[in-house]
Amino acid sequence: MTHGIGLKHISVKVILILLIGIRWSFGAASPTAPVFGVHEVALSASEQYANPYTDLSAEALITEPDGKTQRTVPLFWDGGSVWKFRFSPDRPGAWTWAVKSSDKGLNGQSGRFEAVASDRKGSIRPMKGFPLHFERQDGSPFWFMGDTAWALYTDSAEEKFDRTQAFRYITERAAQGFNVLHSMLLSEAGWGNAGGPPFADLAAEKINPAYWQEVDTRLGFANGKGMVCGLALAWGDKRKVEPYAWRMFPNVEARKRYARYIAARYSAYDVYFIVSGEWHAEVRTRNAPIEDVRREFFEIGAVVKSSDPHGRMICIHPMTAGGSVREFNESGWMSFGDYQQNYNNLHARILESRQFNKPVVNSEYGYFLRDQNGDGVPDKDNSTSLDAMRHATWDIVMAGGYVVTGFGTTYFGGNRDPGPFDLDAAKNDPWEKQIGLIKQLFEALEWWKLEPHDELIRCAAPRGKDRKELNVTVPPETTYWCLADPGRLYVLYVRGLNDPVELTLPEGKQAWRIRQFDPRTGDWKDLKMAEGKTFAYRPPDVQDWVVMVANSQVSKP
């Protein structure tokens, strides 16, 4: 008699053993990650360290799907025995990784993951073929429209700002067309968040992972809403109560260690790095030669670049004196022609910085209706009225530059304006709309092909100069500018004119379509077709107006 084992007699335990054996025989399934998404790997160190942040380092060598190209990714400590690395694959296929470390639990760890196609677009970079402009990593053109959100990752009970408010703010700004937020990782005001302070003891370099885990959450939410985030690592010390300024780190090696940590933790996200906010303040506070301080920031920026396997854009942010960081183009890591904090001669200062053939951003030129001392009078340059803010912005973009704008009630979590953080302030509504109209106009065109050609437009009235309004600087009352793809498309911007402006057009008989755009309402009006060598435009009034002069090959916006 033959005895067999019926299927019904096989225990659940035996079935599981068989299934595990079958899976092992064919190889365990690799985890998947979306292209341009964030793939995270968490590992455990086996040894104990007094301060893991300072006492241990580790890195993962990642091999691309071609099996040849490799990138090095630093691991970062995330509390307890946990060490992580994050990587954003930029192409589909099988990626492999292996860890090197002095810790036996980390060293030799290895694995693989499969990057799969996704609808993600990636972070930003200079546009191929048009390096003064931006594109996403997938090659899609990117009109950079930023808002200031310095306090994005922090909490303040006094200002009633926390994660809930941050999420509301991100969602609202995304709906309004903003696609960039620049923000600070270490608060100038010393704020922490629900996870506590960023460092339990900065002098001893005791980092607090719980703080950074909250930053992870908010940054990930912003990226999910299509926002690219500029991350200011720390500020220059402006002699205020700034517990986390660059000067407060114990030494330059501590500053570099922190820079490496930030690049390791965040370069896989849709970000760009701002090495310092208002770096010049360190010169004054340390009482050190400016050359020495600049050289240190050159070195810190180099650490960010070398620790980032994704090649994110990097810049630095100036004080208002001079208002420019053009000199950092010598650094080898500066990705912007300039990242200004500049309130004067807005148009000309953008033109000056285009010489480096990189994108130019004025990242601080006004905070709409900001009233820092609470006396009821706006007190920030270019910010005293809707007209002043709009004029300033158009002067920048008509030089081929981009802006990070700001609103007094939101830019610092409510800290620099009476009352708590106020996303819903009715006074902000007009500027929220009108800055969006600028983006809408240019996105309807191949704007990256437009270059400043102010020499093509002339008027009997001279261009004006900066003036004073409520004791602060505002843009000229009268001016006129031209962006052009010569022979194809001309965009004119004029204001304060009773006289006509004349645009020089190329020789030859060609019909031109003329359209007038109202930058206050977004309304378009077709004007009389023109033929010939010149086009004369008389504005309907002294307000600001935009005129598009296009040949038949340009579609209507």
Q: Where are the beta strands (DSSP E) in 312-433?
A: 314-315, 338-341, 360-364, 402-405
Q: How far apart are the first and last CA of the chain?
A: 88
Neighbours of 375 (CB within 10 A): 9
CA 61, CA 70: separation in Å to the nearest integer?
A: 7
pLDDT for residue 440: 98
Give the global pTM: 0.94
DSSP string, 447-462: GGG-EE-GGGEEESSP
pLDDT for residue 2: 36
How many CA atoms lie within 13 Å of 161's alpha carbon, on the beta-carbon side? 29
How many CA atoms lie within 13 Å of 107's alpha carbon, on the beta-carbon side? 7
Q: Which of 319, 365, 326, 361 is nearest to 342 (CA)?
A: 365
Residue 111 near residue 258 (C-beta atoms within 8 A): no
pLDDT for residue 231: 99
Least confident span in 20-24, 169-173, 204-208, 502-506? 20-24
How many CA atoms lie within 13 Å of 484's alpha carbon, on the beta-carbon side? 18
pLDDT for residue 483: 98
Task: Confirm whether 12-116 and 452-550 share one CATH topology.
Answer: yes
Q: Which of 522, 527, 445 is nearest to 488 (CA)?
A: 445
- Sign, CA torsion 417/423/425/428: positive
Kindly report, residue by residue over 298-337, the tens digit of the pLDDT: 999 999 999 999 999 999 999 998 899 999 999 999 999 9
Specify the fold of 124-371+380-449. Answer: TIM Barrel (3.20.20)
Residue 324 near residue 280 (C-beta atoms within 8 A): no
The three-state DSSP-derived secondary structure of 389-416 is HHHHHHHHHCCCCEEEECECCCCCCCCC
CA 95, CA 189: separation in Å to the nearest integer?
A: 42
The three-state DSSP-derived secondary structure of 199-237 is EEECCCCEECHHHHHHHHHHHHHHHHCCCEEEEECCECC
CA 355, CA 377: separation in Å to the nearest integer?
A: 38
- DSSP-based three-state secondary structure for 437: helix
How would residue 151 be classed by pLDDT, with cut points 50, 70 and 90? very high
Does residue 4 register a pLDDT over 50?
no
Q: Considering the chain, what is the average pLDDT of its residues?
A: 94
Percentage of the residues of the chain whose pLDDT score is greater than 70: 95
Does residue 450 register a pLDDT over 90?
yes
CATH number, domain 12-116, options 3.40.50.970, 2.60.40.10, 2.40.40.20, 2.40.30.10:
2.60.40.10
* Distances in whole angstroms, Cα of residue 13 to Cα of each of 4, 10, 20, 387, 475: 19, 8, 11, 75, 78
**Domain spans of the chain, in order of start:** 12-116, 124-371+380-449, 452-550
Q: Tell me 463's DSSP state.
A: P
If one looks up domain 452-550 in CATH, what number appears?
Answer: 2.60.40
CA 247, CA 252: separation in Å to the nearest integer?
A: 9
Q: What residues form DSSP beta bridges with 525?
A: 516
Does residue 24 register a pLDDT over 90?
no
Q: Which of 222, 229, 339 is nearest to 277 (CA)?
A: 339
Give CA torsion, residues 157, 155, 174, 141, to 10 deg: 150
Average pLDDT over residues 383-402: 98
- Which helix (H) or strand (E) segment holds residue 524: the answer is strand 524-531
